[in-house]
Amino acid sequence: MGKRDGSDEAYVVGLCNEVLGETALTQHRFDWLLGDAGSGGRRIKLPVDAYWAGHQLVVEYREVQHDQPVPHFDKPDRLTVSGVHRGEQRALYDARRESEIPAHGLRLVVIRPADLDADSRGRLRRNREADIAALRKILARDSDEDRVTDAFRTWLLTQGWTPVAPADRWTDIEAVRGSERLICEAKGRTSEKGIDADIAYGQLLRRMTADTPDVRYALVVPSSSVKAAERVPARVRRLLRIDLYEVTDDSQVRHLPASPL
């Protein structure tokens, strides 16, 4: 077992894996996230604690030394390549992560011991039930459309799909599985269910540029919008290769197949 395997960071990342339904790449390094240049001009790639490619999400677990001076970690008598001691460099690199990660289209979530069940020294008590409940809220996004999108993305991963960067930047989710490709439009709870469903179908129609059965389309809606989405006749949805998916209030996904001809 590596020295990090029993750490609070590893514990938190493991719980996030459960919540997200995807296994993180830990200590992942992006080509564009770089430290300061050393004497030879070389710049190392800065690691992130955890990266979920399917969710386009980075999580940083920041223990107490990230927010307050800790001589053991800061080594104030020793300068780094940044010309400051390690504590100041840590703050500098944390700020760099906070600016560069969102700038490259990824979501960054910072988790601290105080967000979970921790003692006064910032050590986690590892109250698994309470910590998972807290992480569900922390990892949730602001809008219901975000909730629907995240739930569907997680479901796709369980079905063997791999989310990829959309060819059209306005597409909510695009995923591949073997030779198949799925292009998805997601909607959240809304007071204008019919209008939003009509808009979503129009957005899918504009993306129908590939005339091949390997490319399908999906409309993903919350339970409250299913009836509005089903106003487009099933035979039309079949002809256009549009699948309808429901995301329930507890974020479960249901495929609503059109009845056969």
Contact (CB, 8 A) for 177 and 160: yes
**pLDDT truncated to tens, each residue of the chain (261 aa)?**
344 678 999 999 999 999 888 899 999 999 999 988 876 778 889 999 999 988 889 999 998 765 555 554 545 566 555 556 676 778 888 889 999 999 988 999 999 999 999 998 889 999 999 999 999 989 987 788 888 998 999 899 999 999 888 888 789 999 999 999 999 999 998 888 999 999 999 999 999 988 888 999 999 999 999 999 999 999 999 999 999 999 998 889 999 987 654
φ, ψ (nearest 5 deg) of residue 164: -130, 165
Domains in the chain: ranges and CATH: 8-139 (3.40.960), 144-255 (3.40.1350.10)
* Distances 28 to 52, 82, 90 between C-alpha atoms, Å: 10, 22, 17
Contact (CB, 8 A) for 220 and 197: no
Contacts of 104 (CB under 8 A, 6+ apart): 30, 32
Work out the number of other CB atoms within 10 angstroms of the CB of residue 15.
Answer: 20
Tokens representing 54 are 């399917």
Work out the number of other CB atoms within 10 angstroms of the CB of residue 105.
Answer: 9
Whole-angstrom distance, CA of residue 187 vs CA of residue 126? 36
The pTM assigned to this predicted structure is 0.62
